[in-house]
Structure 1
Amino acid sequence: MKKIIPLLIITTVITITLYTFYSYIYLSPGTTVSPQQKTEYIKHHISIAVHAGFGAVALLSGMFQLMKRFREKFPAANITLRRIYYFSVCISAVTGLYVATYAQGGLVNKIGFFLLDLIWILSIIQAAVADNKDDMPAFRIWIVRNYALTFASVTLRLWLVLIWNRYSFEHSHFSEVYQTLGFLCWVPNLIFIEWFYLSKIKYQPR
């Protein structure tokens, strides 16, 4: 079980990364979204592509920060990927603040996504400060919290698949659930990390 869970996470991260580049960078704007969303995607395709593209890079590069064996075996590559992660999170989160202002689903969704990007920025700053001070225990805490927010791109799509399969023939119900995705995609991630991971984690030197 201990090996299966990391393997599932790695597979999911790689799949979502490839899907993001394919759907947001390669395909025409709005190809993979509903007709109601397509207009906004076409109008703001550059900001959405930047937000999604750098978010995908962050999702992939950040994964290695959680791999102890990788950190110990490839310290130089780990540092490089960490810097790529910092940069990608900052670009994706800043553009995300703008993207959140026209997110579908009403005011609740807009607030949810805006808070996600704001906390995403603040937590990566905390991680970078701890890293700069070589305070690895604090760094591990903040990088795990931050990656839980980065992983929202995965949980968002999992929620979309779930509610689409459940409510695809009940548009009113689908719309009601969709309005909460701005919070559902990241709040459960943080709760899980705080209660079931960070409370038991043991930190090792870099």
Structure 2
Amino acid sequence: MSSPEQTHQQTAIAETRNKNRSLDRKWYITTIAALLTSCYVIIFIFGTPRGGPAVKQRILTNPGGWAHILGGLVSMTIGPFQFLITFNKQPPVIHRWLGRVYMAAVAAGGVGGLSLCVTTVAYPAGAWGFAALGAVWLATAAMGLRAARRKDYARHREWMMRNFALTYAAVMLRWQLPLLLWWGYAVEEALTITAFSCWVPNVVFMEWWIGRGEKVRIE
């Protein structure tokens, strides 16, 4: 017969396995959506996306636009794989080197995004929304880097979760904008709405997720 301690240990192991399987599913869904968005960005650069010639010309005719597009592409592609270390599926040395590339991409993408706010066709409120996204994207990356240098890896992970939630704004924007245009909104109106809707809900959800994890650890 199993002792109460053995039973408790077996139950804990089973719960951990179930949790990891659930996280694995969420990771796959998140990664597939991110990589599909990366593919769209490649099409945007080398092809002529439907309804996008004017936008493409505005973005890819200045260095800030290129920095934003390429920085976003690299960070969106690398980002999901950085969380593999959570499942013990990524060697720390690879995590560190990919992290350096990711941070450089966010820096380029964030600064480039801020420069594009000046020429956006969104209303002024939308320009401020995109500017806020760029600023918070850069700030969370800086906080994550600071925590890593202090070897506070728990806080580093939390800050990078927040940061990737902002990186993921690219995914949210790619389906929200066409949907709003299909509903009859003008381009200026749709961009102004998505300037907030593509990232604010992400941040709210991630704060809830992080707080949920803290509560579980305390209990």
- TM-score relative to the length of structure 2: 0.79
Q: Distance in 2 between matches of 1:39 and 1:65?
A: 33
Matched, 1:20 2:41: yes
For the 8 Å contact 1:50–1:92, the answer to whether it is kept is: yes
Matched, 1:186 2:199: yes
Q: Distance in 2 between matches of 1:57 and 1:38?
A: 18
Q: How does 1:90-129 map to 2 (within 5 A)?
A: 90-129=107-146
Q: How does 1:150-189 map to 2 (within 5 A)?
A: 150-165=167-182, 167=183, 170-172=184-186, 175-189=188-202
CA separation of 1:69/1:130 partners in 2, compared to 1, >3 Å: closer, same or farther? closer
Q: Distance in 2 between matches of 1:145 and 1:78?
A: 17
1:122: Cα distance to partner?
1.0
Q: Distance in 1 between matches of 2:89 and 2:57?
A: 47
1:38: Cα distance to partner?
5.7
Structure 2 equivalent of residue 5 of structure 1? 26
For the 8 Å contact 1:96–1:114, the answer to whether it is kept is: yes
Q: Distance in 2 between matches of 1:49 and 1:5?
A: 31
For the 8 Å contact 1:148–1:189, the answer to whether it is kept is: yes
For the 8 Å contact 2:144–2:160, the answer to whether it is kept is: yes
Q: Which runs of 5+ in 2 are unaligned?
A: 1-20
Matched, 1:80 2:97: yes
Structure 1 equivalent of residue 78 of structure 2? 61
Structure 2 equivalent of residue 139 of structure 1? 156
Identity of aligned residues (%): 24
SS state at 1:180 partner? helix
Q: Which runs of 5+ in 1 are unaligned?
A: none
For the 8 Å contact 1:120–1:146, the answer to whether it is kept is: yes
Aligned-residue CA RMSD (Å): 2.5
CA separation of 1:32/1:71 partners in 2, compared to 1, >3 Å: closer, same or farther? farther
Aligned residues: 195
Amino acid at match of 2:69: A
CA separation of 1:54/1:33 partners in 2, compared to 1, >3 Å: closer, same or farther? farther
Q: Distance in 1 between matches of 2:51 and 2:120?
A: 13
For the 8 Å contact 2:118–2:127, the answer to whether it is kept is: yes
CA separation of 1:191/1:101 partners in 2, compared to 1, >3 Å: closer, same or farther? same
SS state at 1:156 partner? helix
